[in-house]
Amino acid sequence: MNNCLKCRALVISLLILNVFQVSVASVVSTGDFNKDFFVMWAPDHVNTSSNGRERSLKLDQVSGSGFASTQMFLFGQIDMQIKLVPGNSAGTVLAYYLASDQPNRDEIDFEFLGNVSGQPYIVQTNIYVDGFDNREERIYLWFDPTEDFHTYSILWNLHQIVFMIDSIPIRLYRNHADKGVAYPRWQPMSIKTSLWNGDSWATRGGLDKIDWSKSPFIASFKNYTIDACVWKGNPRFCRADSSANWWNKRSFSTLTRVQKRWFKWVRKYHMVYDYCQDNQRFQNNLPKECFLPKY
pLDDT digits (tens, 9 = 90+) for 121-169: 999 999 999 999 999 999 999 999 999 999 999 999 999 999 999 999 9
Cβ count within 10 A of residue 258: 11
* pLDDT for the residue 214: 95
Question: Would you say residue 248 has pLDDT above 90?
Answer: yes
pLDDT in tens, 158-175: 999 999 999 999 999 999
Does residue 123 contact residue 138 with C-beta atoms inside 8 Å?
yes
Cβ count within 10 A of residue 61: 9
Cα–Cα separations (whole angstroms), residue 34 to 81, 99, 100: 16, 20, 21
Domains of the chain: 25-291 (2.60.120.200)
- Please report the beta strands in 60-180, taking only residues with DSSP state E, as ranges in sequence order: 65-69, 73-83, 92-99, 107-113, 122-128, 137-140, 150-156, 160-165, 168-174
Residue 288, SS3? helix
Residues labelled as active-site residues: 107, 111
Q: What are phi and psi of 217, to 5 degrees?
A: -100, 130
pTM across the whole model: 0.90
Does residue 184 contact residue 127 with C-beta atoms inside 8 Å?
yes
* Mean pLDDT value across the chain: 91
Give the mean pLDDT of 26-50.
92
